[in-house]
Amino acid sequence: MEELIREKGTPLYLQLADELRKQIEEGILKEDERIPTEKELSDRYNVSRITVRKALEILTDEDLLTRKQGVGTFVTGKKLVRNLNTLMSFSQNCIQNGEKPGTKFLSADIVTAMPSDVKYLHIQKGEKIIRIRRLRYCNDVPVMLEENHFPRKFAFLLSEDLNQPLFSTLAAHNVILKTGTKKIGICYATKEEAKELGVKENEALLYMWDTCADADGNPVYYGKNIINADRYTYILQLDVDEGAK
Amino acid sequence: MEELIREKGTPLYLQLADELRKQIEEGILKEDERIPTEKELSDRYNVSRITVRKALEILTDEDLLTRKQGVGTFVTGKKLVRNLNTLMSFSQNCIQNGEKPGTKFLSADIVTAMPSDVKYLHIQKGEKIIRIRRLRYCNDVPVMLEENHFPRKFAFLLSEDLNQPLFSTLAAHNVILKTGTKKIGICYATKEEAKELGVKENEALLYMWDTCADADGNPVYYGKNIINADRYTYILQLDVDEGAK
């Protein structure tokens, strides 16, 4: 049993949180490591389970711990931060953050448009589209499965190196992206998605729909991104809309 | 067995997706209703389970169906859309979308600052803060659990009607919010969160950290929002950052 050095006047759960935070900061509890159970912590520090629970809640709020459904509580791994304020490519964003972007090309094919393609790419039912699937890495960690759909006139992409940044490849063909829309929700990893992203099947992931248009408002692509939220955080900096005060 | 009217040249899974989409649009399959299992659909329409799976994937991609881990596949309920582009209050956003905002005040208290409060509210360790918890509704549906922490000088809020929009209450006290930061991730519903939001315990939810400052850059609040992603979608409209092309 490792007793806490009990400070008078500071609630025990804060003391336990401080102790565990210290262990995380000093690397005694390591990134992605599963921490002991509530029962084990309660025995080890000679505190009630309610105290343990409150301490773990604090550290979870601070994003130092991550609770996973039915699995346990883990020390949060290093998260890569993506700023959503501007329409910046994945690679550009990584570089701006001082991180190393990476891409693994998975597949490219010509397929019949789905209804969502018809809607977002402004094409006719039954038309063919270009579908490109890539796995995106940040500092060699797989963080996002990206599937982009392009109108068929973008078939020139199929002869390009799709491990390279797509925005640059498009720019080399005089396709300049100007505006975009993103929509964020939750999905659950399929077997294949789990394998590519190194997570468990059915684990909750962020789902981001993504559309992009050129300066004339013509759709360039419609995409779906499956994101490992344990590894990748989206942030936004906002200003008050003057009209909405 | 309800046979599909088989069209020559159109793959069966697209025909099945069209048929199910029609049933959703016509309300034969109702919002939030669990659809038949793959096996049942396979038997009913006399198609293989692979065909069923491909059809369901299409409708899931279109966000017409929602797959829930270990529970089944459901017709997606009406989603409320929040535009994240500007720092707009929940109430303002609902009204702009033609929806009815609602608030249920849950609790307000004075508590000792957590380390995250110290960090985001620029206060000292051990100081007290004001903690306000509210459940937010859109068209009478609970969509978000909101917990906001304010520096102690905002204690005047405790004598206000906290069912009213907070931005307006603050404005009446000459506190004008100017800038903010949001961070988006995933969390799993605790028992209490599940009860308030009407979801299952441990169901995946969106987690949004939220900070807000006034025109002088002084922190006004630091908040945590737990969001039912089945009910509420975040969208963003973006322009290319000229410097980042």
**CB-CB neighbors (< 8 A) of B188 in chain A:** 67-69, 204
Handedness of CA A100, A84, B243, A105 (dihedral sign): positive
CB contact under 8 A, B240 and A179: yes
Nearest-Cα distance to chain B for A168, in Å, is 8
**How many angstroms separate the CA atoms of A105 and A164, rounded?**
9
> What is each CA distance from A168 to A243, B12, B167, B245, in whole angstroms?
36, 38, 42, 8
- Interface A–B counts its CB contacts (< 8 A) at 161
Nearest-Cα distance to chain A for B7, in Å, is 13
Residue of A nearest to B92 (CA): A244
Name the DSSP class of A228: -
Residue of B nearest to A58 (CA): B114
CB contact under 8 A, A69 and B202: yes
What phi and psi values does residue A196 have, to the nearest 5 degrees? -65, -40
**CB-CB neighbors (< 8 A) of B224 in chain A:** 61
CB contact under 8 A, B237 and A186: no
3-state secondary structure at position A209: strand
Query: What is the model's pLDDT at position B241?
Result: 54
Of B67, B84, B96, the CB nearest to A236: B84
Residue of B nearest to A93 (CA): B244
**CB-CB neighbors (< 8 A) of B181 in chain A:** 235-238
Domain residue spans in chain B?
12-75, 80-235
Asked if B99 and B139 touch (Cβ cutoff 8 Å), the reply is: yes
Q: Is B98 left (phi over 0), alpha (psi -120 to 50) or beta?
A: left
Which residues face A75 on adjacent strands? A65
C-alpha torsion A48→A77→B219→B168, nearest 10: -80
Q: DSSP readout, B118-167?
A: HHHTT--TT-EEEEEEEEEEETTEEEEEEEEEEEGGGGGGGGS-TTS-HH
CB contact under 8 A, A235 and B183: yes
Q: Which CATH code is given to the segment(s) A80-235?
A: 3.40.1410.10
CB contact under 8 A, A239 and B87: yes
Of A21, A86, A240, the CB nearest to B241: A86
C-alpha torsion B220→B222→B223→B224, nearest 10: 170
Pick the CATH number of B12-75 from 1.10.10.10, 3.40.50.12160, 3.30.70.330, 2.30.110.10: 1.10.10.10
Nearest-Cα distance to chain B for A47, in Å, is 20
The DSSP bridge pattern shows strands A177-188 and A141-151 to be: unpaired
The residue count of chain A comes to 245
pLDDT per residue rounded down to tens, chain A (245 residues): 577 777 777 889 989 999 999 999 888 998 888 999 999 999 999 999 999 999 998 898 888 998 877 778 999 877 777 777 777 788 888 888 888 899 999 999 999 898 889 989 999 988 999 999 999 998 888 999 999 999 999 999 999 998 888 888 999 999 988 888 888 888 889 899 999 999 988 889 999 888 999 989 999 999 999 999 887 777 777 776 544 43
**How many angstroms separate the CA atoms of A23 and A12, rounded?**
17
pLDDT in tens, A236-245: 777 765 444 3
pLDDT in tens, B111-132: 989 888 998 999 998 899 999 9
**CB-CB neighbors (< 8 A) of B229 in chain A:** 185-186
Q: ipTM of this complex > 0.90?
A: no
Q: Name B98's Cβ contacts closer than 8 Å, sequence gap at least 6.
A: none
pLDDT in tens, A94-142: 888 888 899 999 999 999 898 889 989 999 988 999 999 999 998 888 9
